[in-house]
Structures are given as structure tokens and as C-alpha cells.
Amino acid sequence: MKLTITLPFILTLSLLTATGAAQAKTLGEGIAYTWQSFSDKVTTTWNDPQQYDLYVPAITWHNRATYDREHINKYNERPWGAGGGISRYDEKGNWNGLYVMAFKDSFNKWEPFGGYGWEKIWRPVEDRDFRLGLGYTAGVTARDNWKYIPVPAVLPLASIGYSKATFQMTYIPGTHNNGNVYFAWFRWQF
């Protein structure tokens, strides 16, 4: 099994835990604080959601700089599917969500993905309905070409939203002809 940890995820966790980790006297205390902070956010989101969300996968794009034409021609880039979740905005205005979705992967086979997402939210204009987000998602997926063995994944997360509609996206890093995929979906809050 493969665990994907990216630099944006590490930087995000660093920002999330800067206060508590700075107070920690050892690396172990810093890790314990980070885990406790993550666990508290997931638990609060599960126990006290503010809204229900519909997820609609929109695009899977294989980075043309890392794939040869033969692979690009045979891969699916229309991830038909759907999903659902619950979410909330915390006391700092940041988004927290728990979700599950299923979509057609690059080989046109069904792939489920479920997990927790967190985004730092900015409202850069006067209209408070407009927002930008940057954070991470941590979850589990399973793919046909991996015999549907559950695989953990930690990925960067970004979004642009207005009112109840949000366009979220991630990038799955990889090597030549493997990974390096931009994946995006629409999220509608009820």
C-alpha cells in the first residue's frame, strides 16, 4: 500500500499546529498535539454538522507534461459519479467536511473515496458570499487496478466558492505515466 504525503499537506499541518506545537517540549508532544487537533476537528464535524453537501465529480486531468500520448489517449477524464457529506465552518471561519464519493477513475472503473477535508477560508472581497480555500484532505480510496485494497491518501485541497456552491480540487502527485492528476468536483451545501 502507498501513503501519499505532499509538501502542501505538511505545510498545512505546520500552520494548523503552530501554536500548540511551539508549546510542545518534544517531537512526541508536537505529534500528539497535531493528532489531537485533527481528531477534535473530525469529531466536532461528525457530531455537529451545519450543513449537508452534495458532491459531483467534474474533471480528471492527466498532466500532459508527465504522460505520453499513448496513455493520454486511453485514459478517462470524465469522472462521472456523485457523493455526499456533512460540513461546518468553525469559529475561525474555516471549512471542515466529512464526505464520501464514487466516480469513474482513469480506467473507467468505479473508485470510492471517503475522508475528511479542511480548508483555511479567505474572503478577499466585500461580498462575503465569495470565498477562497486552501487546505488538505485525508482519506481512503480503493481502485480496481489495486484489487480494491483500501489505500490511505493525504492530498492538498483548494477551492473557490460563492454562496452554497463550491468548486474544490486536488492534485495527486506521481511519476512518469503514473499519478500527476488534477481532480476537481462541485460541492453544493444544503
Active site residues: 62, 105-106
Q: Which stretches of 24-144 are DSSP H helices?
A: 27-47, 69-74
Question: Is there a contact between 131 and 137 (Cβ–Cβ < 8 Å)?
Answer: no
Count CB-CB contacts under 10 A for residue 7.
Answer: 9
In sequence order, what are the beta bridge partners of 61?
182
Q: Using DSSP, state whether 77 is helix, strand or coil.
A: coil
What's the start-to-end Cα distance of the chain, in Å? 36
Q: Which value, in Å, is the radius of gyration of the alpha carbons in the chain?
A: 17
Place of cell 501554536: 19
List CB contacts of 91: < 8 A, sequence separation 6 or more: none
